[in-house]
């Protein structure tokens, strides 16, 4: 059977189209030669994620992004469908992160399989389930930004301080120039004065040298005199101290004699301390005085006689 050229061209075009379709879908993440499990993830945004981007576990690619759909009935959230190899099992607590691990690679999904139950596969997530714990991976650019941001703030504050300092220095430039001009003028005046008064200054210095020599000689003459004055002052102080000590000893001796006389009961003060007669008499006098005052309060008429009209009480005197 002879095949015409037209049929050959048609078959070639059909095979080429099928190969193109299969290759394009394979690049999009569709795997026609291996069986896969499909899982769903919901993100508020995808940050540049596209179909066929890899899904990795600890850096190993175990699947691809199979599809991305927008859910307009759920605030336009993005529904991502991933296809994983059948031999990859993930637990109920599996989590996934969306992000880029470096500057060169694009966005990818980093899967954490969680706690997998190999003895009871029904306790793991099944094909068609949704991975609820979905977060974003902090990108390298974000990390660099966090580290650079404090440095940027410090640089800004430093620049502001430098700008303020420069403004102050620019205003102080004229003042510094005026001070330097005054210093230069003062230096010139001082130089002229020194030139004019050079001879007088030399004479003054010569007089000071002579005065210094005279003072040295005077000091040598004064040293013996000062030594004699110190000796005289020392002797006078010693004599005065000896006299004071002698008077003190005499006073102490007399005081001891007086105290000994008192202890022996001699004299008025000795009798008062040693003899209790005075104490006994005073006690008796106090008792009698107390009795007298008591009788006076109880019978005042016995001691005092008075009348309002200046006459005596006739009834008591005449009995009428």
**Lowest-pLDDT range of 103-117, 230-244, 302-316:** 302-316
Over residues 11-32, the pLDDT tens digits come to 888 888 888 877 766 665 555 5
Is the pLDDT assigned to residue 314 strictly greater than 50?
Answer: no
**Assessment of whether the complete model's pTM goes beyond 0.75:** no
Paired tokens of 10 = 């048609």
pLDDT band at residue 317, thresholds of 50, 70 and 90?
A: very low
What is the pLDDT, as a whole number, of residue 236? 63
Residues 6+ apart with CB under 8 A from 214: none
Q: Cβ-count burial of 56 within 10 angstroms (0-12 exposed, 13-18 middle, 19+ buried)? A: middle
Instruction: Write phi, then psi, for 63 (nearest 5 degrees).
Output: 180, -175
Over residues 159-210, the pLDDT tens digits come to 888 887 777 766 666 666 777 777 777 888 777 777 777 777 777 877 788 7
Over residues 280-312, the pLDDT tens digits come to 777 888 888 888 888 878 887 777 665 554 545
Distance separating alpha carbons of residues 75 and 77, to the nearest angstrom: 6
Paired tokens of 280 = 């006994």
* Domain residue limits, the chain: 1-33, 34-137, 140-196, 197-253
pLDDT band at residue 124, thresholds of 50, 70 and 90?
A: very high
Residue (of 99, 98, 66) closest to 85 by Cα position: 66
Over residues 38-84, the pLDDT tens digits come to 999 999 999 889 998 999 999 999 999 999 999 999 999 999 999 99
Is the pLDDT assigned to residue 135 strictly greater than 80?
Answer: yes
Give the pairing of strands 77-85 and 60-71. Answer: antiparallel
């Amino acid at each position: 059977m002879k095949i015409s050229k037209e049929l050959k061209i048609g078959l070639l075009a059909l095979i080429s189209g099928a190969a193109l379709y299969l290759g394009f879908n394979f690049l999009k993440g569709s795997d026609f030669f291996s069986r896969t499990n499909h899982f769903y993830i919901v993100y508020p945004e995808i940050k540049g994620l596209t179909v066929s981007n890899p899904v990795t576990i600890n850096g190993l690619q175990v699947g691809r992004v199979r599809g991305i759909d927008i859910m307009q009935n759920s605030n336009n959230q993005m529904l991502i469908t991933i296809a994983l190899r059948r031999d990859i099992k993930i637990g109920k607590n599996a989590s996934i992160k969306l992000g880029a691990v470096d500057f060169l690679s694009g966005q990818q999904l980093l899967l954490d399989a969680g706690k997998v139950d190999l003895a009871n596969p029904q306790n793991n997530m099944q094909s068609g389930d949704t991975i609820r714990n979905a977060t974003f991976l902090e990108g390298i650019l974000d990390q660099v930004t966090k580290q650079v941001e404090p440095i940027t703030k410090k640089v800004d504050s430093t620049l502001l301080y430098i700008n303020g300092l420069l403004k102050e220095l620019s205003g102080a430039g004229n003042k510094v120039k005026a001070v330097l001009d005054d210093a230069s003028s003062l230096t010139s005046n001082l130089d002229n004065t020194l030139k004019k008064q050079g001879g007088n200054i030399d004479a003054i210095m010569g007089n000071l040298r002579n005065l210094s020599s005279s003072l040295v000689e005077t000091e040598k003459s004064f040293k013996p005199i000062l030594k004699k004055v110190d000796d005289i002052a020392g002797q006078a102080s010693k004599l005065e101290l000896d006299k004071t000590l002698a008077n003190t000893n005499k006073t102490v001796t007399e005081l001891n004699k007086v105290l000994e006389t008192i202890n022996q009961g001699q004299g008025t003060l000795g009798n008062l301390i040693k003899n209790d007669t005075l104490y006994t008499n005073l006690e008796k006098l106090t008792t009698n005085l107390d009795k007298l005052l008591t009788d006076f309060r109880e019978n005042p008429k016995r001691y005092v006689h008075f009348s309002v009209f200046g006459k005596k009480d006739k009834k008591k005197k005449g009995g009428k």
